[in-house]
């Protein structure tokens, strides 16, 4: 097929599932990571997917990292999945300014940094698929997540605007808003809170990473060319 896909935070959790699914579907895949070097090495050995370390919240690192991926895979990025993200939860009246800034820079500035790094070659090539991971909590809000919800809602506005700017160049830009998915991120939620969340999910369970990867495969496909500027909810039926 020859298409090159880059997944940020692509060596574990949802991103790991997305990288694996893209590779199985025949794409040339590169997975970015940041601090989890042991896990990234193990992921590379297990899957054969090359891994590249940089901090997505840093503009220059994203530019250099994307160049390194292009050199290694022999072409510019056709499919970008902006998956990397963090939570630093806390009620606003106690939230430290650094926890606000860290979540905004890692979850939202990163999307600007990475799109800026790949969009010009996509425009020249007249092909691109950009898929941004938002969240159910960016659409409906969540106690203790003003920083996270603001970043994830920001991704929605960003996605819609870049979709408009890119439509004439055959670049689609869409967001996926997962509900609660079983990963390290949700393992960090106290068990009693997880149970309460679960009781509010009509499907009756947390989602799996392959269920998000399936939505990515759909949006990444060459044939998904008339779908842009959308937010695809994959959340087990949660009412928004
Ligand atoms: P995890 O905490 O399991 O993994 C986060 C990933 O992001 C890791 O691969 C991590 O890499 C990477 N990452 C974090 N900070 C940086 C950084 N500065 N630079 C590069 N990579 C970074 O998260 P999930 O898999 O659960 O979530 C993936 C995405 O899906 C996130 O954007 C999250 O907000 C979103 N999402 C998740 C939901 C869920 O229920 N799990 C629900 C809705 C949305 P490393 O370990 O190497 O640092």
What residue segments make up the domains of the chain, in order of their start? 4-180+209-228
193 Cα–ligand 1 center, Å: 20
Helices (H) and strands (E) in the chain, counts: 10, 7
Task: Give residue ranges with CB within 6 A of ligand 1.
Answer: 8-9, 11-15, 32-36, 55-57, 83-86, 106, 133, 135, 178, 180-181, 183-186
Question: Please, where are the H alpha helices in 50-145?
Answer: 59-73, 97-104, 110-125, 136-140
Listing DSSP states for 121-187 in one string gives: HHHHHT-EEEEEE--HHHHH--TT-HHHHHHHHHHHHHHHHHHHHHGGGTEEEEEEEE--B-SHHHH
Whether residue 148 lies in the annotated active site: yes
CA 198 – CA 185 distance, rounded (Å): 15
Instruction: Write out pLDDT tens, residues 156-194.
Output: 999 999 999 999 999 999 999 999 999 999 999 999 999
124 Cα–ligand 1 center, Å: 30
User: 226: burial class by Cβ within 10 Å (0-12, 13-18, 19+)?
Assistant: exposed
pLDDT band of residue 240 (cuts 50, 70, 90) is: confident
Instruction: Write out pLDDT tens, residues 64-119.
Output: 999 999 999 999 999 999 999 999 999 999 999 999 999 999 999 999 999 999 99
How far, CA to CA in Å, does 205 sit from each of 108, 179, 188, 200? 28, 10, 17, 9
Instruction: Give residue 42's pLDDT.
Output: 98
Among the atoms of ligand 1, which is closest to the Cα of residue 136?
43
The closest alpha carbon to 78, from 15, 5, 164, belongs to: 5
Instruction: Give residue 1's pLDDT.
Output: 58
CA 108 – CA 88 distance, rounded (Å): 14
Question: Helices 37-47 and 13-24, interaxial angle, to 10°?
Answer: 20
Read off the pTM.
0.98
Instruction: Give residue 239's pLDDT.
Output: 79
HSE of 215 in the Cβ direction (CA atoms, 13 Å)?
Answer: 26
9 Cα–ligand 1 center, Å: 6
Q: Which residues of 135-168 are buried (b: 16+ CB within 10 A; e: fewer)?
A: bbbbbeebebbbbbbbbbbbbbebbbebbeebee
Domain 4-180+209-228 superfamily per CATH: NAD(P)-binding Rossmann-like Domain (3.40.50.720)
């Amino acid at each position: 097929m020859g298409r090159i896909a880059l997944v940020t935070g692509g060596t574990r959790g949802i991103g790991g599932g997305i990288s694996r699914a893209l590779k199985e579907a025949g794409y040339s895949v590169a997975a970015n990571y940041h601090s989890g070097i042991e896990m990234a090495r193990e992921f590379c050995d297990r899957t054969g997917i090359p891994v590249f370390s940089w901090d997505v919240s840093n503009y220059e690192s994203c530019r250099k990292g994307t160049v390194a991926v292009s050199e290694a895979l022999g072409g510019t990025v056709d499919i970008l999945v902006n998956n990397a993200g963090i939570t630093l939860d806390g009620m606003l009246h106690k939230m430290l300014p650094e926890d606000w800034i860290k979540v905004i820079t890692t979850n939202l500035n990163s999307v600007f940094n990475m799109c800026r790094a790949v969009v010009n070659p996509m425009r020249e090539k007249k092909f691109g698929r950009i898929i941004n991971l938002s969240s159910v909590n960016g659409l409906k809000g969540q106690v203790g997540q003003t920083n996270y919800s603001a970043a994830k809602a920001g991704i929605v506005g960003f996605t819609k605007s870049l979709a408009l700017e890119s439509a004439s160049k055959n670049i689609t830009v869409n967001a996926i808003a997962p509900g609660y998915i079983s990963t390290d991120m949700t393992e960090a939620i106290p068990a009693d809170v997880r149970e309460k969340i679960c009781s509010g999910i009509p499907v009756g369970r947390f989602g799996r990473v392959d269920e998000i990867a399936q939505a990515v495969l759909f949006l990444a496909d060459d044939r998904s060319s008339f779908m842009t500027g959308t937010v695809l909810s994959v959340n087990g039926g949660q009412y928004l």
